[in-house]
Each structure stands twice: as structure tokens, then as C-alpha cells.
Structure 1
Amino acid sequence: MLMKISHSPVTQHTFEGRAFFLKRDDQLHPHFSGNKARKLMALLELEDKNITHLIGYGSPQANSLLSLAALAKMKGWQLEFYVDRVPWWLKDKPIGNYRMALELGAEVIAVSELTDSELHPHDYIQAHRLDEGCLLVPEGGRSPIAAQGVTMLAQEILEWAHNNKEESLCVALPAGTGTTALFLHKHLKANGIEVLTCPCVGGKEYLISQFEELGESCFPTVLESSTKHHFGKLYLNDYQIWKALLEQTGVEFDLLYDPLMWCCLNDWLPENQGKTLLYVHQGGLVGNESMLPRYQRKYGV
């Protein structure tokens, strides 16, 4: 039995003395939640009996791996998720998104073990795995298929804002490919709602190029941290923000993306006192299972 991805609750919290609202997309489904569930919603509703395999690629600890595994399980498809390689320690003791994806029946396939050529997983798929019955999802869900689910999210936000008579509303969320932020902006700008985001993978120019590849020319507001931030690298300040959010709100956030967004918001908020902030929780909590031990090993926290 399939379920619909919609109407997550909105809760109110305070962080560092500033009240904000939180769109709880992390509560959509235990495995299929957050921005990946929104971006893949169209596939959840897709009826095509010819599809037997879902094909994806990325990191063996990517949030998208778990979401695709959950989607495939719901649809009765087999997920083949191609990666460059799987570290020996992860194979030996599966953890986080990798562990749960395997439990859901995903096949995580290391391209380095299939060929002597140094092929990127995307290139390997293009050459060998675009067969009949295979449905390919781009890395991170950066695709026009995301529009349907994100449009529904925008409609829920508009409905909430109208019912609660919220004015001067700003919606914030971090960006990987920026797909969710871009499509939210497209639907909310006409209603005077500003969408704020920050580049977590690469810098502002890279994020803008991702927006442009989706064929749009009007973009959300991009905030940047005053300090250099490399994706996947551990920063003590990130952990401290994450821990403070947990302690002050009672809500667990993602350790990879959310701390950087909140770092940017902490600079933005003092200059925007009259605005109401709605933060979109994008899930990714299973990834903390592998991120937390890394912080503990490096910083002893």
C-alpha cells in the first residue's frame, strides 16, 4: 500500500533567543522523508508496469541512497545504486544510510570493482545500465521530476501562512544541488515570500550554475558563510550549532547541511528582526549515525 507525501506539521521553537517555525518534513516517513521524499514524490505516484529497476548513483552514505531504497521497496522495484567504491570499514560494519539501504534490499555497486577504467558512476550507467525497465534518477534528485513534490510543499507553506496570517515570511533551507530551494522560490515569490538558502556543496557560483542547469533564471536568496566551508569536512562550530539546536529546540537536525544554514541565519537574523522565519527540516537524520562518531573521534565531543 502506497502512502502520500504531504502535510507535515509546523511547530514553533526558539533558538538563541529568536522564535522561528519549523516545517517538519523529517516526519513524512521513517525512511522516505525530507527533501528527497518531496523531490521523488512524482515517482512514488508513477504507474508504469514496465519499470523493474531504479538506478541511482552517488556516495555510499548519501541521503539519496536511503530515500531511493525506500522508494524502490514501496514500488516493488530493485534499486541499483552505483558508487565509485565502498570503503572496507563500511563493508565490514555497515552504518548510517548505507546500512539501512542494504536492509531495505538495495544493491550498492562499486564501479571500481566492475571495470579497470576509471569511470564515474554516471558514465558507467550511461554506457551499461540504461536498459528497458530501468529508471535513472540523477544524483541528489536534481531533475524536473522534483517539481511536482516541491510544488506541493510550496502549497502547504502558502496554506499555513494564510491560515496563520503570517506576513513578512521568509523560508529557509540549505542547498546541495539547490533543487528544492529553486522550485520553492519559483512558487512562493509571487506571494511575496522570500526563500533563503546557502551553498553546502561548492560555493555560490557553483550553486547558481546548478540553478541554471534546471532552466531557471530567477533564483532564491543565497546566503554565504563568512568562513570557508568544505563539504563533508568536520568543523567544531558545526557540531556546536547542531548540539545547541538539539538542546534549545528538542529537535534533531542533520549534521551535514543544517549547521551551515544556521550559521548563515545567525548572521542574517539580527538585520531582519521584523521577518517571520519558517525553516524547512529536510530530514537526513540517519546520516547522523555515521557523522556523530566522526565528530567524537576528531574532537572528543
Structure 2
Amino acid sequence: MQNSPISTLMIDSRRFLVKRDDLINPYLAGNKYRKLYTLLKTPPKKLKKIISYGGTQSNAMLAIAAMCKRKAWEFIYYSKPISETQKLSQLGNYYRAISLGMRHIEVEYSLYRNFIASLRVSIDADTFIIEQGGAVKEAKKGLDVLAQEIREENLDIKSLATPSGTGTTALFLALALPEHKVYTTPCVGDVRYLKTQMQALHELPENLIILEPKKKYHFAKPYPEFYVMYKKLLDAGIEFDLLYSPAMWEALLSQTKEEILYIHSGGVSGNESMLQRYLAIDARKSNL
């Protein structure tokens, strides 16, 4: 695949550059493409099955499903129980992942944590487990490739930004580009949780700067301020995801001043179902 292009974005009278990883592939885009880079380069015959787990709005889930479809690997995804409404919906990441061949297994709330912890007990050589959100050490190779692409651009910018769930992308990007500041912010949980997730993979480098969000955010929960920021960015010319990007942009606009290269983390395929939820909230408000 060719290097992803770079766009200019003007917002609040500030100029940002955006590394358009969202344009790499409809499903295998953004930081999920970078995290799965090593597996994408793995010969199909080397593995037979991929196992992962997490939320069913996950962009990583859809990206893994697309990869497994391409490689003809079985894909099993575990989650806590989901609603019948989501199972029947023909919108969003869950629907698309199922359409690509994902086998979804629900685990009861009371058993979930212990079940996930036991997944590696009986794993065989033909199976690979991808931690929630793609938080695996194998992701480093894909972020090294991204770092090389950024260097090849010869940009006069020394600050980068990317939002964090597990923090894998921000961590490995900071390690690969020690000459740059790498901003991130926790979009799931708080700063302490984010640091714990990243430290499970590597010691935190000094050039990784974690910006404190306004509040603790819960994954896939609608927030009015996220919707406002989404529309503001869309009006400026680029669509970003509704799950992570709004929190990162709010932190950048309120806590930084320099010119920044924003790494677009993709995930806009999930906007379809999230926008339906925001529209439903607006409809309820208008009926009050």
C-alpha cells in the first residue's frame, strides 16, 4: 500500500496537518491497519484462527474481521452480552464484522473477566490472540512503518497527536520518533488507566505527553460535546470518528498552541450507528 496522504485542516484559526490513515482501506484503516501490520504480512498458511475480545462497537473488531476474511482465517470474538436490538441492526461495525464472517460468542458478565484471562491456557500454534483494541507488542512494526513515512515527508513539525484507547499507537509512535513530542489523551477511562495499559507493553518515553481530558469517558457512550466537535471538524473538511477523536481534539485545542500533525486513527465506519444514537437523543429532546 502507498503512504497515506497529508491534508491541511483549519479549525479555531489554527492550522493542523492530518496524516490521512483513514484513507488506507475502508475497514483496515487508521491505527488498526498499523497495529495489524505484522499479521497482514503473515503468510495465510501460518495461522488458522484469530481470537479477540472487547466491545461490539469496536473498530479493531471490524478491522480484524476484514483481515481474517482476506487471509481465510477463522475469527472468534468474545464480548459481554449485547442487546437484541444490536444483533438485529443492519448498521455499524458489529453488523459488518458478522457479514465478514466473524463468529461472535457472548460471555456472561460474572464470568467474563476470568474467561478472558483463561484464553491463553490451551492456545495452539495455529491460533493467535489479539488483546482488546489490538494492544499487542507485534503492533510495534506497523508503527515503525508509520514513523518512517512521517520522516520521509520532511515536515517542519515536531509535535504529533493521536487519541488513545489502550495507548498502543501513541506509545509505539513515541518510541519510534524520539525527536518528536507525541500528544495523546485517554478516551477510555482516565490517565492512570491509560498509563497502566501502556506500561504493560513498554516503559513510557519522555516525549510521550498525556493531556488530561475534561472528564472520564466511557467507550461508545454518546456525549453531546463529542457530537458538537464531530460536526465542527466535519465542517472544517474532514470526518473523524465519534468515539475517540472528539476528546483528542478538545484537548489539543485547549491545551496546546504549536502546529501539530494529527494521525487520523480511522474508525469512521462506526459513525453510521453512532450517529443514529445521537439523532435519537436529539429527537427525544425535541419532543420534551
Is TM (by shorter chain) over 0.5?
yes
Q: 1:98 matched to which residue of 2?
A: 94
1:281 aligns with 2:270: no
User: For 2:268 and 2:118, how far apart are their aligned partners in 1?
Assistant: 30
Q: 2:56 matched to which residue of 1?
A: 60
Q: Residue 112 of structure 2: SS of its match in structure 1? A: coil
Q: 1:198 matched to which residue of 2?
A: 185
Q: 1:262 matched to which residue of 2?
A: 249
The letter of the residue matching 1:267 is S
User: For 2:198 and 2:61, how far apart are their aligned partners in 1?
Assistant: 22
Instruction: Select which of 146, 158, 177 maps to 2:151.
Output: 158
Q: Residue 35 of structure 1: SS of its match in structure 2? A: helix
Shift of 1:82: 1.1
With normalisation by structure 1, the TM-score equals: 0.88
1:122 aligns with 2:116: yes
Q: CA separation of 1:82/1:230 partners in 2, compared to 1, >3 Å: closer, same or farther?
A: closer
Q: 2:226 matched to which residue of 1?
A: 238
1:11 aligns with 2:7: yes
Q: Residue 13 of structure 1: SS of its match in structure 2? A: strand
The letter of the residue matching 2:232 is A
1:294 aligns with 2:281: no
User: For 1:227 and 1:123, how far apart are their aligned partners in 2?
Assistant: 29
Shift of 1:132: 4.2
1:226 aligns with 2:214: yes
Instruction: Select which of 133, 138, 149 maps to 1:145.
Output: 138
**1:54-97 deviations in whole A, cap 9, x for unaligned?**
11111122111100001101111111111122311111224211
Calculate the aligned-residue CA RMSD, in Å: 1.9
Would you say how many aligned residue pairs link Structure 1 and Structure 2?
282
Q: Residue 260 of structure 2: SS of its match in structure 1? A: strand
User: For 1:31 and 1:184, how far apart are their aligned partners in 2?
Assistant: 21
User: For 1:266 and 1:172, how far apart are their aligned partners in 2?
Assistant: 12
**1:160-186 deviations in whole A, cap 9, x for unaligned?**
1x2x4x14x210111000010011111
**1:130-155 deviations in whole A, cap 9, x for unaligned?**
23421111111111100000011011
**1:90-131 deviations in whole A, cap 9, x for unaligned?**
11224211111111111111123xxx9723352353456x23
Tell whether the 8 Å contact from 1:23 to 1:281 is kept in structure 2 after alignment. Answer: yes
User: For 1:98 and 1:74, how far apart are their aligned partners in 2?
Assistant: 18
Tell whether the 8 Å contact from 2:190 to 2:216 is kept in structure 1 after alignment. Answer: no
Q: 2:160 matched to which residue of 1?
A: 171
Structure 1 alignment gaps of length 5 or more: none
Tell whether the 8 Å contact from 2:57 to 2:220 is kept in structure 1 after alignment. Answer: no
User: For 2:3 and 2:147, how far apart are their aligned partners in 1?
Assistant: 11
User: For 2:47 and 2:6, how far apart are their aligned partners in 1?
Assistant: 36
Tell whether the 8 Å contact from 1:60 to 1:108 is kept in structure 2 after alignment. Answer: no
Shift of 1:33: 0.6
Q: Residue 55 of structure 1: SS of its match in structure 2? A: strand
Tell whether the 8 Å contact from 1:111 to 1:124 is kept in structure 2 after alignment. Answer: no
Instruction: Select which of 137, 149, 169 maps to 1:180.
Output: 169
User: For 1:229 and 1:137, how far apart are their aligned partners in 2?
Assistant: 24
**1:214-246 deviations in whole A, cap 9, x for unaligned?**
122325100112344343332211111110100
Q: Residue 78 of structure 2: SS of its match in structure 1? A: strand
Which region of structure 1 is more displaced relative to structure 2, 12-21 or 116-125?
Answer: 116-125
1:111 aligns with 2:138: no
